[in-house]
A and B are shown apart, each in its own frame.
Chain A
């Protein structure tokens, strides 16, 4: 990713609304043709960042550079960027075709040419040709997504922004549309900047992910980096089910958990580390026979189990804390509730993070 030349540079971008700082001095560089996703809980400032990139809000401080040119004061209608809105913002008084042709009409493209381009885009996005004259409000959710994307592509922007367009779509269709979007990204070679509150969605599609929290960009990395090396408790929790144990360093590389009354071997830790959280993913946590089977072990009681389709999730109570263990369905445990189990993990599979 680092070999791409940057198309967008954010330099200490800040946005304040009155006394409230929505975005706090963000530095970020996004490469040409990259699929970059900003992820964060609602209110984390991700939409504000996107709106500043689109030119719909202007930053209170800092600079936005497009291929090295400062574009802070360029309004949205003169930026080579286009946004797919959360509500999709399809024009209800226009047909599917007219919606897609809108940016071309604004540019005074001849009607014949417009129609040709619209039909071309509809074919690319798997919208039947007969939809050209269809009222856009009569389209289904997935079709409307495609119309919105086609309209944005008709503008022929260098960069496309997506403001959680899939958030209101049911799971199965969302999965399909995520794949389609990734295909479109590949076919067009344009830069995609996507916003979502679901890290799972971000993982599937993105080249790189930026995680935002309370107006700050807390981590930027590839999906793999974010998953395997979160730099904070916040990021590690954001991905989904995860086991987190508060720990403090007692000597050399021994970690002490006061709640569990247990000691663990510390994985590589940030310099000057004194106390923090040990993170173990459910798939790295194993149910073992003997203490010697893993570098770290805890004794607990089987509390509950959930079938997740291809996997089974076990909840194991150790003292007050519930640990989550995931196994493939073929390796089902077959134990009664409340039976004693031993759980363990290898030090290399654990991560040490601050808050």
Chain B
């Protein structure tokens, strides 16, 4: 082996070691969660002495847990729909049209993202109380939107920036009505952006804790429950729920990515 080859090989193995350590660092916690959930004992003891899936069974049978999922999914779905609609029009104003006050609008829209979420949650709680809004998962929808709409607007804006305005003009010039332009050109061309916006909205709402903590009132979301149980009353049901929640998010993300890829493949022959 020549010295050049040896140094080549050395560099390649360093690269692999680095990549592997990053992967381990990122995914080991998720793995630990899975391990912690697979114990048959009542407490968190490591290394695990007795293996079992009793807690998985218990978790899935629990009516309370089902309620949690129902609440979290309801909030996430409603937030997704509203955030994508508002984000779509917001992104058009953000990136497509040039108007007076646009630069101020661009800054104002992004401001809520930089607010610490717990502060934002508290502020919203005070605000809801002030206007006398009863707290429930519905008020949490509103709270989530305050933080998620800016993110979704930004995500869709990235797609809008690469959108050639001449496409709309061309369609209009070729006889399409404004509505047909929207349906046949604007929406389909921006679809990947809308889709990623929707994914972001769902996942951010699904995993959100600080805003929910202040604004759900008597209702409880999955992250809130997990936190409460960890603070007081830990059972291996916590890692079970954590694992399920993570898997749900991952499946959604990978599924969405797969769908986009399939769609693109079908188009590009």
Q: Which of A85-93, A253-261, A274-282, A286-294 contacts B (4 or more CB under 8 A)?
A: A85-93
User: For the complex, what is the distance from the CA of A316 to the CA of B197, rounded to whole Å?
Assistant: 66
Q: Is A151 an interface residue (CB 8 A)?
A: yes
Q: Is A77 an interface residue (CB 8 A)?
A: yes
Which of A55, A85, A107 is the one whose CB lies under 8 Å from B166?
A85
Asked if A106 and B174 make an inter-chain contact with CB atoms under 8 angstroms apart, the answer reads yes
Asked if B189 and A92 make an inter-chain contact with CB atoms under 8 angstroms apart, the answer reads yes
Asked if B269 and A135 make an inter-chain contact with CB atoms under 8 angstroms apart, the answer reads yes
Chain A residue, CB-CB nearest to B167: A89
Q: Is B184 an interface residue (CB 8 A)?
A: yes
Asked if B173 and A106 make an inter-chain contact with CB atoms under 8 angstroms apart, the answer reads no
Asked if B189 and A155 make an inter-chain contact with CB atoms under 8 angstroms apart, the answer reads no
Q: Is A307 an interface residue (CB 8 A)?
A: no
Which of A56, A93, A103, A138 is the one whose CB lies under 8 Å from B174?
A103
Which of A77, A81, A93, A134 is the one whose CB lies under 8 Å from B176?
A77
Q: Is B26 an interface residue (CB 8 A)?
A: no
Smallest CB separation, B183 vs chain A (Å): 11
Q: Is A184 an interface residue (CB 8 A)?
A: no
Chain A residue, CB-CB nearest to B178: A77
Asked if B175 and A91 make an inter-chain contact with CB atoms under 8 angstroms apart, the answer reads no
Given A91-B167, A93-B188, residue A82 in contact with residue B173 (CB < 8 A): yes
User: For the complex, what is the distance from the CA of A92 to the CA of B173, rounded to whole Å?
Assistant: 17
Flag B155-189 by CB within 8 Å of A: 1 or 0 each.
00000000010110111111111001000110011
User: For the complex, what is the distance from the CA of A82 to the CA of B191, rounded to whole Å?
Assistant: 27
Asked if A93 and B189 make an inter-chain contact with CB atoms under 8 angstroms apart, the answer reads yes
Asked if A77 and B173 make an inter-chain contact with CB atoms under 8 angstroms apart, the answer reads yes
Which residues of the other chain, A, contact B176 by a CB distance below 8 angstroms?
Answer: 77, 102, 106
Which of B170, B180, B185 is the one whose CB lies under 8 Å from A83?
B170
Chain B residue, CB-CB nearest to A78: B175
Listed residue (A85, A89, A151) with the most chain B CB atoms within 10 angstroms of its CB:
A89
A residues 49-86 near B (Cβ < 8 Å) are 54-56, 75-78, 81-83, 85-86
Asked if A93 and B267 make an inter-chain contact with CB atoms under 8 angstroms apart, the answer reads yes
Smallest CB separation, B24 vs chain A (Å): 39
Which residues of the other chain, A, contact B269 by a CB distance below 8 angstroms?
Answer: 95, 133-135
Which residues of the other chain, B, contact A151 by a CB distance below 8 angstroms?
Answer: 174
Summed over the interface, the residue pairs from A and B with CB atoms below 8 Å come to a total of 69
Which residues of the other chain, A, contact B175 by a CB distance below 8 angstroms?
Answer: 77-78, 103, 106-107, 155
Which residues of the other chain, A, contact B164 by a CB distance below 8 angstroms?
Answer: 87, 89
Q: Size class of A's contact patch?
A: 20 to 34
User: For the complex, what is the distance from the CA of A135 to the CA of B265, rounded to whole Å?
Assistant: 11
User: For the complex, what is the distance from the CA of A7 to the CA of B91, rounded to whole Å?
Assistant: 41
Which of A54, A82, A92, A102 is the one whose CB lies under 8 Å from B184?
A102
Given A82-B173, A85-B166, A87-B164, residue A138 in contact with residue B268 (CB < 8 A): yes
Which of B171, B180, B188, B267 is the one whose CB lies under 8 Å from A135?
B267
User: For the complex, what is the distance from the CA of A118 to the CA of B268, rounded to whole Å?
Assistant: 19
Chain A residue, CB-CB nearest to B263: A93
User: For the complex, what is the distance from the CA of A55 to the CA of B172, rounded to whole Å?
Assistant: 10
Which residues of the other chain, A, contact B167 by a CB distance below 8 angstroms?
Answer: 89, 91-92
Which residues of the other chain, B, contact A138 by a CB distance below 8 angstroms?
Answer: 268
Asked if A76 and B166 make an inter-chain contact with CB atoms under 8 angstroms apart, the answer reads no
Which residues of the other chain, B, contact A54 by a CB distance below 8 angstroms?
Answer: 173
Smallest CB separation, B236 vs chain A (Å): 48
Which of B174, B185, B188 is the one whose CB lies under 8 Å from A155?
B174
Listed residue (B167, B170, B180, B185) with the most chain A CB atoms within 10 angstroms of its CB:
B170
Flag B89-107 by CB within 8 Å of A: 1 or 0 each.
0000000000000000000
Given A89-B166, A93-B189, residue A102 in contact with residue B174 (CB < 8 A): yes
Which residues of the other chain, B, contact A91 by a CB distance below 8 angstroms?
Answer: 167, 170-171, 185, 189
Smallest CB separation, A240 vs chain B (Å): 30
User: For the complex, what is the distance from the CA of A56 to the CA of B174, rounded to whole Å?
Assistant: 12
Chain A residue, CB-CB nearest to B269: A133
B residues 53-96 near A (Cβ < 8 Å) are none
Asked if B169 and A76 make an inter-chain contact with CB atoms under 8 angstroms apart, the answer reads yes
Asked if A106 and B180 make an inter-chain contact with CB atoms under 8 angstroms apart, the answer reads yes
A residues 132-182 near B (Cβ < 8 Å) are 133-135, 138, 151-152, 155
Chain B residue, CB-CB nearest to A105: B184
Chain A residue, CB-CB nearest to B173: A76
Smallest CB separation, B46 vs chain A (Å): 52
Chain A residue, CB-CB nearest to B188: A93
Which residues of the other chain, B, contact A92 by a CB distance below 8 angstroms?
Answer: 167, 189
Asked if B169 and A85 make an inter-chain contact with CB atoms under 8 angstroms apart, the answer reads yes
Smallest CB separation, B223 vs chain A (Å): 37
Which residues of the other chain, A, contact B173 by a CB distance below 8 angstroms?
Answer: 54-56, 76-77, 81-83
Chain A residue, CB-CB nearest to B191: A93
Chain B residue, CB-CB nearest to A151: B174
Which residues of the other chain, B, contact A103 by a CB distance below 8 angstroms?
Answer: 174-175
The interface of chain B, by Cβ under 8 A from chain A, is: 164, 166-167, 169-177, 180, 184-185, 188-189, 191, 267-269
Task: Identify the 4 closest CB pairs spanning chains A and B, nearest first.
Answer: A89-B170, A89-B166, A103-B174, A76-B173
The interface of chain A, by Cβ under 8 A from chain B, is: 54-56, 75-78, 81-83, 85-87, 89, 91-93, 95, 102-103, 105-107, 133-135, 138, 151-152, 155
Q: Known pairs A102-B174, A133-B269. 12 more at Cβ < 8 A?
A: A56-B173, A77-B173, A77-B176, A78-B175, A83-B169, A91-B167, A91-B170, A93-B188, A93-B189, A95-B267, A95-B269, A106-B175
Selected A-B contacts with CB under 8 Å, 7 pairs: A83-B173, A87-B164, A89-B167, A93-B267, A103-B175, A106-B174, A152-B174
